[in-house]
Structure 1
Amino acid sequence: MKTWFDTARFGMFVHWGHSSQRGCELSWPLVGGVFSLPFCSNIPVDEYHSTGKTFNPQKYNPQEWARLAKRLGIQYAILTTKHHDGFAMFHTQQSDFSIQNSPYGKDIVREFIDAMRENGIRIGLYFSLIDWHHPDYPAFTEADKPYVFGQHRQPTPEQWQRFVQFMFAQVRELLTNYGKIDIIWFDGGWERSPEQWQTAALNEMIRSLQPDILINDRLPGFGDFDTPEQFIPPQPPDRAWETCMTINESWGYNPADTNFKSARQLIHTLCEVAGKGGNLLLNASPMGDGQIQPELLERLAVVETWLSANQESIIGTSPGLEPWQFYGTSTRRGNRVYLHLLMKPYETISVRGVPIKRIKSVQVLANRMELNYSTRCGIMDSFTNSDPLGELTIQVPESAIDPYATAIAIDFTPADAAL
């Protein structure tokens, strides 16, 4: 079944927690780091958890985040309500380890949801199944280091029963206390079996509380869409999908990590993902005080400027041409096809296998500059076929080239058959 998610194309991921005060990753430092996060430090367990008592982001302004998201054309925003470290960014009756018992006190999740909803952005909540703080999980200790995938201390049956009740209760709070939620984004399923997580019962509860909600594929055995991470899949998955990506190498605010993607890389990634029919869930990691890191804002400002002129070619589109038809990414909206030039052309570009007699216009999307073009097809096709498929050659002068990515719109007259 098709949903809004299938053509959303651009989402915002927000990884934020009490550890952001330290300028370190969420959760992973307390287990000694992980290979996939090159700038992740090793912090003693108790020392890591201690900043839960001091978290007080006085410069947190969710309205600013929401206005930024809206300007970017973001369609949905997902916040870490509870990461692997077990700290709840919402008011919960199930645990004292939450924002409610920090100096900040206010419900960060509620403030985030209200701001995004007010700006017309759909709501997603990240929730980790793992809880390295809860005693019945059991809690991760210094003796458990180094962290090894597949080798996790198991609870007693009594402990696990209590933990599952706790986990279900927190998910229930998130899905009953904040109105309509569009996505619940699970993580951490690798540490236990689907039977231990009781994923069938959890899925049933979620659907009963929020019938229209979408669940990602990280609830083992269930889910509505796929979530490749930190890369664009060479072939798009068979169903709805998004790729979640960081702007540097870290999910949480980490000033030591200066390996930032350029604004051009981000724009090209967005074009490629849209051309494959996916969504880009781009991470923005706030600092401990609640402000988004300046280096991220600098790049997002460039993306915003580019999208202000080219958003039509991304948001709400479907995949465009086949790879053999055009050496680049492309999208489609009805009878309009958008070409994304991610490399500078040599005077012209070619598009093959298109209905050349139905071409109405070719123009640069950003400024509506008309481009000269020519067409050709098989000689006999031109005589015997009223709607032949052929080759379109477009002249692209230097003045038409965008320094980040040039979007070209090709308009076709309608036909009964799809292009």
Structure 2
Amino acid sequence: MEISKKLFNKTALIFVLSLATVQGAMAQQAKANKEEANRIKMEHDQIGITEDKKSGYTHTTNAGAQWFPQADFGLFIHWSIASIKEVDLSWPMMAGTQIGWTRPMPDSAMVAKFIKDGDYFAGHHCEVDNSCLTPNQYWEQAKDFNPQSYDADKWIKAAKEAGMVYAVLTTRHHDGFAMWPSRYGNFNTKNYMGGRDLVKEFVAACHKYGIKVGLYYSGPDWYFNKDYQSFMYYGVGKNYPNIPELDANLKPRTTTRTAEEKQVHYEAVAAYIKGQVQELLTNYGKVDMIWFDGSPDIPKGNPAWKNCITMEQIHQLQPGIVVSPRFFGYGDYKTFEGDKSVPTTKQDGWAELCMTSANGWGYTKSPLKTTAYMLDKLVNCRALNTNLLLNFGPDKTGVFNSQQYQRFAEIAAWMKVNGEAVRGTAAINAAEYSSVPATAKDKYRYIFLSPNAKGADAKDETITFKTTANPKNVKMLLGDTKLNYKVQNGLISVTVPGKLRSQSVGVVAIEL
């Protein structure tokens, strides 16, 4: 009796400790999710991403754009001069982000000390590895940017084999460096690399492999706007008193601009943006998507907006184009950002989640996320009518490394077996229910099993699916293996043997 009591107490203690560990992990994950959401929101505020709920704009009905809601999967490519020093694009030049993104926020006394000491990076991780850059130091990377090994054909071929339907290239990020020889501005390949057109090579590869062409373009241009903006992160100035404006050397700015000078600049911004967007939409044949990211450096309501590019002009240049909502405050689809931001409800309109394959958008030495993790995000997106735009960053020579190509190959292998579960599918209808994420297409329902670290050593799992139709056939797509199931009051219960589980996403197909 005493032994049984001790055993019970020990078991209870183990349970309590295990529960505490799980709860602790969940709390830590919730904190990470909140921190990422805060950072993304502040970045969006910095670059002027807003939502115009009064626009009345609905997504385009042009026949050439109707590929998007079932595009399923796309390749995002963040690439710029930042690859020289292997830092993320644009944001490393912005001081004070560590203050602005930190939660809980530092108190005013601490921030005042940062400012007094001239420590404008204020504990940013770049101070640890000596990678902090002023804007001018960041822009100096342009003189060393000459990607001799750039082979867009190899990129897009790998994307095609991985089942990706569209690809989006950063033609110009917030840093202002344009990846084509633009006639507008003086910070592009016209002034560097002998005028090589990196965008042209990308578009040609997309057309060759039948991949929809997407061009990323930032509304803000911190190079063009460098004499009219502060390089102190705006959230710091908003939340703390006596914050100086910083120039491109991260020194307190001593000059001020008159209202007349500012207005002349706003008109120049409008002409510059309009000219570059027109080039992108007229120089390369069919362009299927323009992925705007942020609003131009023109105050809302300023008359200079009348001379900037308009939605109507964009559709005149490319009638079948899909436009992101991050420029005008409205567009053809809803955007989610970051793998902690997978939507939690079915999307009735067009939607897309963009996320990174590593920690950061550009090329860095941080390890890649696992293929199983990426695929899990893909199927969760598709179960809610959302496309996944997965980002990879090439290095300074224009190459995806071997680990990145390994991810493409592993995704391709999964797609070869399970691709029908995400290609052209949609969320299940409101009358149906699944205990795990699921998609639908015609008479088929595809049920997704989360990756299991134990693989074939995992335990058996029972999943349920409720529908008004009767099942005709139930199987695992991997191995085309029939599964045992039972039906009661429209509820299909399927038992998946542990030996059929894998360390990647598994798919059960139900034919009705």
Q: TM-score scaled by structure 2?
A: 0.72
The alignment partner of 2:400 has SS state of: coil
Distance 1:105 1:20 in 2: 19
Q: Residue type of the partner of 2:352?
A: E
Residue 229 of structure 1 corresponds to which residue in structure 2? 337
Question: Are 1:373 and 2:463 matched, yes or no?
Answer: no
Find the partner of 2:167 among 61, 64, 77.
77
Instruction: Tell me, yes or no, if the aligned pair for 1:321 and 1:331 is still in contact at 8 Å.
Output: no
1:132-188 Cα deviation digits (max 9, x unpaired): 111xx34477xx342224878986111111121111010000001111111111112
Question: Are 1:181 and 2:287 matched, yes or no?
Answer: yes
- Relative to structure 1, the CA distance from residue 109 to residue 190 in structure 2 (aligned partners, 3 Å threshold; closer, same or farther) is closer
- Relative to structure 1, the CA distance from residue 285 to residue 305 in structure 2 (aligned partners, 3 Å threshold; closer, same or farther) is same
Find the partner of 1:245 among 355, 360, 372.
355
Q: Give the superposition deviation at 1:367.
A: 2.4
1:313-353 Cα deviation digits (max 9, x unpaired): 01211112669822211111111010001166853524243
Correspondence 1:347-358 to 2 at 5 A:
347-356=460-469, 358=470
1:247-269 Cα deviation digits (max 9, x unpaired): 122011122x33x3222111111
Correspondence 1:96-107 to 2 at 5 A:
96-103=186-193, 105-107=195-197
| Higher Cα Rg, which structure | 2
Instruction: Tell me, yes or no, if the aligned pair for 1:272 and 1:329 is still in contact at 8 Å.
Output: yes
Instruction: Tell me, yes or no, if the aligned pair for 1:321 and 1:330 is still in contact at 8 Å.
Output: no
Question: Are 1:25 and 2:131 matched, yes or no?
Answer: no
Q: Give the superposition deviation at 1:7.
A: 0.8
Q: Residue type of the partner of 2:82?
A: S
Residue 3 of structure 1 corresponds to which residue in structure 2? 66
Q: Residue type of the partner of 2:483?
A: L
- Relative to structure 1, the CA distance from residue 193 to residue 340 in structure 2 (aligned partners, 3 Å threshold; closer, same or farther) is farther
- Relative to structure 1, the CA distance from residue 396 to residue 280 in structure 2 (aligned partners, 3 Å threshold; closer, same or farther) is same
Residue 12 of structure 1 corresponds to which residue in structure 2? 75
Find the partner of 2:390 among 282, 294, 319.
282
Q: Residue type of the partner of 2:94?
A: V
Residue 43 of structure 2 corresponds to which residue in structure 1? none
Distance 1:249 1:192 in 2: 31
Residue 300 of structure 1 corresponds to which residue in structure 2? 408
Residue 68 of structure 1 corresponds to which residue in structure 2? 158
Question: Are 1:147 and 2:210 matched, yes or no?
Answer: no
Distance 2:146 2:75 in 1: 23
Q: Residue type of the partner of 2:362?
A: G
Instruction: Tell me, yes or no, if the aligned pair for 2:348 and 2:385 is still in contact at 8 Å.
Output: no
Distance 1:92 1:302 in 2: 38
Instruction: Tell me, yes or no, if the aligned pair for 1:26 and 1:83 is still in contact at 8 Å.
Output: yes
Residue 364 of structure 1 corresponds to which residue in structure 2? 476
Q: Give the superposition deviation at 1:3.
A: 1.5
Q: Give the superposition deviation at 1:237.
A: 4.1
The alignment partner of 2:467 has SS state of: strand
Distance 1:68 1:139 in 2: 42
Question: Are 1:316 and 2:424 matched, yes or no?
Answer: yes
The alignment partner of 2:320 has SS state of: coil
- Relative to structure 1, the CA distance from residue 343 to residue 111 in structure 2 (aligned partners, 3 Å threshold; closer, same or farther) is closer
Question: Are 1:195 and 2:195 matched, yes or no?
Answer: no
Residue 268 of structure 2 corresponds to which residue in structure 1? 162
Distance 2:192 2:321 in 1: 30
Distance 2:394 2:309 in 1: 34
Q: Residue type of the partner of 2:481?
A: M
Q: What runs of 5+ residues in structure 2 fail to find an aligned partner?
A: 1-60, 103-123, 239-244, 246-255, 453-457
- Relative to structure 1, the CA distance from residue 122 to residue 39 in structure 2 (aligned partners, 3 Å threshold; closer, same or farther) is farther
Distance 1:304 1:13 in 2: 17
Q: Residue type of the partner of 1:22?
A: K
Which stretch shows the higher mean deviation, 152-161 or 99-108? 152-161
Q: Give the superposition deviation at 1:69.
A: 0.4
1:335-383 Cα deviation digits (max 9, x unpaired): 1010001166853524243135x31101111322111222122xxxxxx
CA RMSD of aligned residues (A): 2.6
Distance 1:96 1:161 in 2: 17
The alignment partner of 1:273 has SS state of: helix
Instruction: Tell me, yes or no, if the aligned pair for 1:232 and 1:273 is still in contact at 8 Å.
Output: yes
Residue 209 of structure 1 corresponds to which residue in structure 2? 317
The alignment partner of 1:395 has SS state of: strand
Distance 2:150 2:203 in 1: 13
Distance 2:67 2:401 in 1: 30
Instruction: Tell me, yes or no, if the aligned pair for 1:253 and 1:293 is still in contact at 8 Å.
Output: no
Residue 507 of structure 2 corresponds to which residue in structure 1? 407
Distance 2:152 2:277 in 1: 22
Instruction: Tell me, yes or no, if the aligned pair for 1:348 and 1:393 is still in contact at 8 Å.
Output: no
Greater helix share, structure number: 2
Instruction: Tell me, yes or no, if the aligned pair for 2:270 and 2:309 is still in contact at 8 Å.
Output: no
Instruction: Tell me, yes or no, if the aligned pair for 1:194 and 1:221 is still in contact at 8 Å.
Output: no
Residue 381 of structure 1 corresponds to which residue in structure 2? none
Distance 1:107 1:297 in 2: 24
Distance 1:128 1:332 in 2: 36
Q: Give the superposition deviation at 1:281.
A: 0.5
**Matched length:** 393
Q: Residue type of the partner of 2:208?
A: E
Distance 1:13 1:352 in 2: 34
- Relative to structure 1, the CA distance from residue 296 to residue 104 in structure 2 (aligned partners, 3 Å threshold; closer, same or farther) is farther
Instruction: Tell me, yes or no, if the aligned pair for 1:57 and 1:104 is still in contact at 8 Å.
Output: no
